């Protein structure tokens, strides 16, 4: 029954996010999102918009907390390597975005 609601073509998935606190193995606590509609946990790094109650276009979702924890562990492990690698790519993206944003600045 839940699936029918989500798959309906007229209604988009409207998540009902609950902010939950997850304690990692090293004692660190992080906030993640749990959707009461789909019963899925969302990664706060891949899907930061969920904390604001938004509808994510993409992200990482998990059926249980343990899977989410494993995923978050991988995030902190890869963080330094990733941020170094992504620096170059992001620079190019910013140039494109910058042009678009300049046009919108006229609005008040």
Is 68 a binding residue for Zn ion by CB under 5 A? The answer is no
Answer yes or no: are the C-beta atoms of 40 and 65 closer than 8 Å.
Answer: no
Residue 51 Cβ vs Zn ion, minimum distance, rounded to whole Å: 13
Is 30 a binding residue for Zn ion by CB under 5 A? The answer is no
Residue 92 Cβ vs Zn ion, minimum distance, rounded to whole Å: 23
Specify the DSSP class assigned to residue 50. G
Work out the burial of residue 32: count CB atoms within 10 Å of its CB; fewer than 13 is exposed, 13-18 middle, 19 or more buried: buried
Which of 38, 46, 48, 65: binder of Zn ion (CB under 5 A)?
A: 46
Residue 27 Cβ vs Zn ion, minimum distance, rounded to whole Å: 20
How much of the chain is helix, strand and coil, in % rounded to 5?
45, 20, 35
Q: Which residues bind Zn ion (CB under 5 A)?
A: 43, 45-46, 60
């Amino acid at each position: 029954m839940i699936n029918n609601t989500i798959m309906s073509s007229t209604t988009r998935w409207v998540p009902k996010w609950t902010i939950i606190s997850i304690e990692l193995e090293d004692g660190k606590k992080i906030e993640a999102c749990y959707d009461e509609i789909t019963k899925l946990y969302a990664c706060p790094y891949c899907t930061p918009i969920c904390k604001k109650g938004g509808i994510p276009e993409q992200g990482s979702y998990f059926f249980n907390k343990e899977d989410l924890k494993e995923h978050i562990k991988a995030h902190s492990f890869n963080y330094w390597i990733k941020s170094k690698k992504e620096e170059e790519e992001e620079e190019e993206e910013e140039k494109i975005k910058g042009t678009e944003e300049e046009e919108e600045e006229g609005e008040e």
